[in-house]
Amino acid sequence: MARRRIIAGNWKMNKTPSEAKALCAELKDLVKNDDVDVVYCVPAIDITTVVEAVAGTNVQVGAENFYIEDSGAFTGEISAPMLVDAGVKYVIMGHSERRDIFGENDILINAKVKKAFAAGLKPILCCGESLALRKAGTYKEWIERQITWDLDGVTADQVKELVIAYEPIWAIGTGETATADQAQEVCGFIRELIAKLYDQATAEAVRIQYGGSMNAGNAAELLSKPDIDGGLIGGASLKPDFGKIVNA
């Protein structure tokens, strides 16, 4: 079964609403491709602007974060129903920056996966190892543990709709990309893990992205690998280069 490619930008904490509007206009013609799911995951304050700016195009909007309760006394947070109402389709969770800087653990991330599905959002679930674990050679055990925790209680039908992003921390924003073979090794391992945790049909349906310094120059090679179904792109999603990645 052919999996549909998904190229998602992770804007992180970049772009004011007016800058976001300008970036959408700049990218508009460059990201046209009806064979690829194109997603802009943007700061919460930019969501309304970006949803308006991409209306009628092939671009879908994602959020970078949310909290697991629907409403209430959670100062500073936004909920899944708020995202859905604003027109958001995807949401990132488990990103290493949220794990490391904001202390999010796999128990919370697991709750986010379940909540996103319950609310009608598609999770982009990130995993990935540090440089120390890569050097120690225990990166696959680490990723197995992350995914196993994060998907606890998640059904096979849900996993078929899930996007998993493999993002080695040592490659994020560093200019150091995993080689296509290194990325394929782990993405293939993740697919085998899904087959083990669920079944073959689920493993074949789940979409797996690579993320970490993906750019216009290396995207085609990474995306040519059998288990790499797309990319989660930080720095290069803020530039016209993003269009080249979409069309790589």
By CB under 6 A, residue 120 contacts ligand PGA: no
Residues touching ligand PGA, count (CB under 6 A): 13
Residue 87 region, left (φ>0) first, then alpha (ψ -120 to 50), else beta?
Answer: left
Q: Is 129 an active-site residue?
A: no
By CB under 6 A, residue 62 contacts ligand PGA: no
Q: How far is the CB of 234 from ligand PGA (least distance, A)?
A: 2
Q: What is the DSSP letter of 94?
A: S
Question: What's the Cα-to-Cα distance from 18 to each of 15, 50, 160, rounded to whole Å?
Answer: 8, 10, 36
Catalytic residue among 64, 95, 97, 129: 95
Catalytic residue among 26, 161, 167, 176: 167
Question: Is residue 230 marked as binding?
Answer: no
User: Residues 6 or more apart from 130 whose CB is under 8 A from it?
Assistant: 169, 170
Token output for 78: 């936004």
Q: Pick from 79, 146, 202, 213: which binds ligand PGA (CB under 6 A)? A: 213
By CB under 6 A, residue 65 contacts ligand PGA: no
Q: Pick from 3, 55, 120, 173: which binds ligand PGA (CB under 6 A)? A: 173
Match 């792109």 to its residue by tokens.
Answer: 233
Residues linked to residue 247 through DSSP beta bridges, in sequence order? none
- The residues of the shown chain that bind ligand PGA, judged by CB under 6 A, are 10, 167, 172-173, 211-214, 232-236
Active site residues per annotation: 95, 167
